[in-house]
Structure 1
């Protein structure tokens, strides 16, 4: 089923536009909340993914977070410069780079669950539990999950 046609397409009402605005608003508010940790919301995604074991290589992070490999490399460089992660070559395949959090990176990862949920909850305060669950379900469906 086609939901958009040339006649009914209004870019400011399109799902893409609304998702982009929502993402930008959340990223801005999360960036502000993470300021004291000296990381951005994008860097937070890397740190949490490494902390939870969801990903351990730049390629896995790029795929998981939807970030191109060039930007991923630059973000990893910044996190390494800040002393939050280390890169090492894989023992079995020297082409593979493994990433691990440093002690400082682990401390940052441990602080994130105290900082980010209040930001998310502020944006979801007018949602009922059922609306919240439906939004998550619909976003998962949109993403093909």
Structure 2
């Protein structure tokens, strides 16, 4: 990390110098806020992410869901299995390519869209506290940075 952004240049391991910690803390806080809205609906935040993808793209392959959710198959498969057991979606092998599994929403999965439609605005109002513009800027910045981080991670695994 460039020295100019270090809060304490003499201590590179200071928590104040880490990019990872504010991202981690913000992620945990946002997820906790979503939990309060999602728990009464019987879904978790990762399930909500999958549902948002499917509301927009279903039917689609498991690979598309994994790519958009940025989840590996070892995380995604059990998540989709639980959602299928809950009656929210159906997984089926593609008739043309047995290697591919497609995901379709059930009636229950589609009905949750209506129940969840107010959540983004409610949470934005709850945690923005006058910082709406900063949150919009943060979202745009993260949207630009995430693909770069993903490519760096993939390059390191090659």
The verdict on a shared fold, with TM-score over 0.5 as the criterion, is: yes
User: 1: CA distance between counterparts of 2:60 and 2:13?
Assistant: 41
User: Aligned match of 1:62 in 61, 66, 76?
Assistant: 66
Moved over 4 A (4+): 3-6
Residue aligning to 1:133: 136
User: Unaligned stretches of 5+ in structure 2?
Assistant: 149-158
CA distance in 1, matches of 2:50, 2:75: 12
More displaced stretch, 111-120 vs 3-12: 3-12
Q: Match of 2:146?
A: 143
The separation in 2 between residues aligned to 1:71 and 1:17, in whole angstroms, is 23
1:1-145 map, 5 Å: 2=2, 3=5, 7-53=11-57, 56-129=60-133, 131-144=134-147
Task: Report SS of the residue matched to 1:99.
Answer: strand
Q: Which moved more, 1:40-49 or 1:112-121?
A: 112-121
Q: Secondary structure at the match of 1:30?
A: helix
Within 2, Cα distance between the matches of 1:90 and 1:78?
A: 20
* 5+ long unaligned stretches in structure 1: none
**How large is the Cα RMSD of the aligned pairs?**
2.3
TM-score (normalizing by structure 1): 0.86
2:88–2:107 CA contact under 8 A, matched in 1: yes
CA drift at 1:22: 0.6
> Residue 33 of structure 1 contacts residue 116 of structure 1 at CA under 8 Å; is this kept in 2?
no
State the Cα deviation string for residues 19-73 of structure 1 (Å, max 9, x = none): 1111111111101211121001110000110110178222222222122211111
Aligned residues: 144
| Mapped partners of 1:127, 1:84: distance in 2 | 35
Distance in 2 of aligned mates of 1:26 and 1:133: 15
Cα distance in 2, alignment partners of residues 128 and 29 from structure 1: 16
Structure of greater relative contact order (alpha carbons < 8 Å, 6+ residues apart): 1
